[in-house]
Structure formats: structure tokens, C-alpha cells
Amino acid sequence: MKFIKNAVGREIPEYLEGIGELVPFKGVDAIKPTKNKAGAKLRMRIQDEPKLVASLEEAIKKSGLKDGMTISFHHHMRNGDAVVNMVLDLIAKMGIKDLTLAPSSLGTCHEPVIEHIKNGVVTGIQSSGLRAPLGDEISKGILKKPVIIRSHGGRARAVEDGELHIDVAFLAAPSCDEMGNINGRTGKSACGSMGYAKVDAEYADYVIAVTDNLVAFPNLPASIDQTLVDSVVVVDSIGDPKKIVSGAIRDSENPRDLLIAEYAVKAILASGYFKDGFVYQTGTGGASLSVTKLLKEEMIKTGTRASLGLGGITSQLVNLHEEGLMDALFDTQSFDLDAVRSIGENPKHYEISASFYANPNTPGPAVNNLSFVMLSALEIDTSFNVNVMTKSNGVINEAVGGHQDTAAGAKMSIILAPLMRARIPIIVDKVTTVCTPGEAVDVICTDYGIVVNPRRKDLIENFTKAGLELKTIEEIKNLAEQLTGKPDPIEFTDEIVGIVEYRDGSIIDVIKKVKD
């Protein structure tokens, strides 16, 4: 195997069995697209031909699914999803093998996928997220082809440029009419935005809507509309409502989170980007929630309004919008019940596809509008590279999500992270797996202070003017090591079990099989 060192210093094989030729990562925005968008198969349906079929099996037969094809799912059902397992069980019974499973993400509820890898139904996986126990098993090398990890924007890009061709898309549909007009706003399995599913529906050669809530035609708004859906199947349940969306997420009371958040808000205020019309994205971690809480106070105090909140939408952002502090919300995924309610009620709580959200190969993904994004990290290294995919023991867990996309798009990306977790240092010499390149990481806020990427001289100047005390990444790393000791290196075999794509399709890192 011949290797090339990529722009973050990782050795990338030129060719990988089961995947093909690999392009090493060359830097943020270094690879410009040269192709045209791919296009789904054109299909014609004569007037009254019904789309409603009696069973999932009938829909799969009509789709022409066969050995070697690629199937997709969305993860708006999150950890309550029943559709991936239901479809794979049936496909296994039907005797179809050697499929690539290409959902937008996978969670802990997808443990049964392990069996379908072992029985040969699934031989490839492409996903943004992979959690235990599936992640552990893949790290042990059970999957025939290496897994491909992509960001949300990277997946949309791959679908649009044809790198990821979906033969059959299965869409869990919280509400659907007999023509296939779908939205996630009503029904017992309501999930709000259908942002990931929109991309699949547009580019798949055959689209099957799987619903537990067949409603009268026309079901509006049609997040996915009748021109994209081939078959509609009614099942008892597409998921466990209690696990699809959470109730209101409570503010963190962890003093460490609050400390990190205070540093982050100071950085935001001093950045020069905190002014009317700013665009904001945050996550659901404790420190993130605290940042938004503190920032809201500053917005009220200074009379500063945001134009837009972005990303996975939470009740916190809904609250900012409904109180008139944030003009609009772009929602690819609704994180809680409040977000699900709001997307149906507020016309400026706007549903967007994963491509609109983060696809780098369009003239205007929403991430490029970001002023600030709050991001998490499992590890950060002294080159500012971030790992959000492998645990401290090297095993696959968690998800890349929109991390790469927002970090590259935002004027100021802020990583919120404690110096250590359970006596394991977070700031290290080299991250186990590079997911987001240091080039796109601007600021790190820890419980021991603020670090700015030396590339961002402008921010260093602004922060210094504002009297913020800054630390260097080495100072912070040394402090972490003093507190925890230097961790033992993880032992891997040479076998590659996964590749992490950068959003442009190049390879930013590989994941190797862990030693037993």
C-alpha cells in the first residue's frame, strides 16, 4: 500500500480495497469542484397508478433493490428510530446481500446492524455517526469494506456530486399522504425538520416513504413532495416517540461548563463580530447551553439582535426567536419538542436541507453565514486539529455531524472543552483521529482559559485590546498533562477499518483496527 502525507500530516493510502482511489486532504477550500451535479433516475408514473402499497416487502420488490446496491435512511428519528432495523430485518429475510448502508447517521439503537454485517446483508457503511456497540464492533474489523465517515455537509456534497449514489432511499415519515407528500410536523413520531431526508429524496433512484401516520392529501407543507416519492407504506410505528425528540433540555449547573461558557462569551463580545445581524450556531452540550444563556443577557443588555440561528434547533434558539432577539432560524434538525412545535408555528423558523445547511459545493451554504459556532471536542491537539469521532481507547464512537462544515464556514469557530475528562487530557500532542483541521479552528475555550489559533492575528489583536488574557496551546497542553499525566499511546493494528472524509471528499484521516 502506497501512502501520501496529507495537509494535516496523516498518512493516507493512495488506494483502499473496497473504496477505491483516495484523494488526500489538501487544506480548507483547497479542492474546487469541477463536475456537474448528479441526477436521479427519471421516472414516469401514469396518472392513477397507486403509490400506496400493501407492505414494505412489496415496496422493496417494486424498487428493484438487489445485491450490491446502496440504501439510505435519515436520522431524524434519532435514537428512537425503528425503520433502519425494520428494513434490514426484512431485506435479510428476502435474501438480498452485500448492501451499502448509507444513513445520515446511526445511533445506539442500531445495534442490530451488527447482525446484518455478520450475515452478509451489510458489507459497507457510510455515515456521519457511529456509536456503541456498532462502533466498537467496526473498530474490531467486522465490516467487509472500510466505513466512510462524512460530515453532514460532506454527505450532502457526496450525494449531489454522485460520489454517494443512493439506489433506494427509505424515508421514515411522521406524516405522509398517499401521493408521498411528507413532513415531520404532525403524528406520534413528529420530528420537526426533515433536512437530511430532503437530500436523499432528491437524488435517490427510488424513494419509499414509510409512515405510521397516513393523512389526507395534500399534506402541506411538503418537506419532501410527491414528485420525489415512488411508494408509500403504512406501518404500525416508525419509532419510539420518547426517544425521537427530547423534552426541554435543562441548563447545565456544572460550574466547569459555566466557566468555559464565560470565557466563550468574553471572546464573542471582543471578537468584533458581535453586532446587529450576527449569525449563531450552538450545540446541546452543557457548556453550549450556558453560552447561549449568557449571550442572551448580553444581547438584551446591549440591544444587539441576531439575524439568524442555525443548525440543530433547540428550545433556547426558539426562545431567542420568539422573544424577537433572533430574526429567523434555519433548521436542518429539530432537537426538542419546542423546536418541533415552533417549526410548525413560526414562518421564519425555516426548514432547510443538509445541502442548504452545509454543502461546500454550492454558491451559498448557510454555514458560510455563521458569525459564531460553538463546537465540542473529544480531543484537540497542538495544531488545533479536533477529534470528535474516536474515544480515548481509539474506538469509533460519536459523530462528525456539522463540525467540519461550521468550523470552516464561521467567521469565528469556538471549541468548548474542559482540559480533561475522567482524568484523560483533552488537549494532546496529536489527536487520535483528525476530523476537523486546525486551520478551521479559531478559538478554544477551556476551564483554564482561552487559546486563539495563531493564524487569527486579527482575533488575538481584538482580544488583547479587550483585556482578555490568552494562553498558548502548548501552555494549556502542558497544564493538562501536569494534571493527568501523559496518556499511554493507543495500540492499533495496520488494518484500516474506516476513513474520515473532509467535507470536500478528500481524506483527512484513517481509522485503524484496535488491538485486542
Applying CB under 8 A, the residues found at the interface with a second copy are 29, 32-48, 51, 160-161, 179-180, 207, 216-218, 220-222, 225-230, 277, 307-308, 327-328, 330, 347-348, 350, 352, 355-356, 359-366, 368-369, 409, 411
Judged by beta carbon, residue 182 or residue 245, the one nearer a second copy is 182
Q: How far is the CB of 494 from a second copy (least distance, A)?
A: 35
* CB 281, CB 410: distance < 8 Å: yes
Q: Please, what is the minimum distance in Å from the beta carbon of residue 363 to a second copy?
A: 5
Shortest gap between Cβ of 48 and a second copy (angstroms)?
8
Shortest Å, Cβ 303 to a second copy: 17
- Residue 264 and residue 293 in contact, taking contact as beta carbons nearer than 8 Å: no
Closest to a second copy by CB, 84 vs 326, is 326
Yes or no: say if 508 and 500 are a contact pair by the CB < 8 Å rule: yes
CB of residue 355 vs a second copy: minimum separation in angstroms? 6
Based on CB atoms, which residue is closest to a second copy, 88 or 412? 412
Which residue's CB is nearer to a second copy, number 38 or number 114? Answer: 38
Extract the C-alpha cell encoding 37. 451535479
Residue number, 241 or 365, with CB nearest to a second copy: 365
Contacts 24+ apart (CB under 8 A), 123-127: 123/97, 123/98, 123/99, 124/18, 124/70, 124/99, 124/100, 124/148, 125/100, 125/101, 126/100, 126/101, 126/102, 126/150, 126/155, 126/158, 126/164, 127/101, 127/102, 127/103, 127/399
Q: Residue 120 or 218: which CB sits closer to a second copy?
A: 218
Neighbouring CB atoms inside 10 A of 448's CB total 19
DSSP secondary structure letters along 115-155: HHHHTTSEEEEEESB--TTHHHHHHTT-SSSPEEE--HHHH
Residue 222: alpha-carbon gap to chain centroid:
23
For residue 452, CA distances in Å to 21, 236, 239, 477 come to 36, 52, 43, 13
**Closest CB to a second copy among residues 366, 511:** 366
Burial of residue 407, with CB atoms counted within 10 A of its CB: 0-12 exposed, 13-18 middle, 19 or more buried: buried
Nearer to a second copy, 266 or 503 (CB): 503
Give the nearest distance from C-beta 380 to a second copy in angstroms: 22
**Minimum distance from CB of 150 to a second copy (Å)?**
16
Complex with a second copy: residue 84 or 354, whichever CB lies closer: 354
Phi, psi of 364 (to 5 degrees): -170, 60
CB of 119 vs a second copy, minimal distance in Å: 32
Q: Report the 10 Å Cβ neighbour count for 162.
A: 13
Neighbours of 155 (CB within 10 A): 32
Cα(326)–Cα(311) distance, rounded to whole angstroms? 14
Q: Give min distance, CB of 436 to a second copy, in A.
A: 16
Contacts made by residues 32-36, CB under 8 angstroms, sequence distance 24+: 33/161, 33/361, 35/161, 35/162
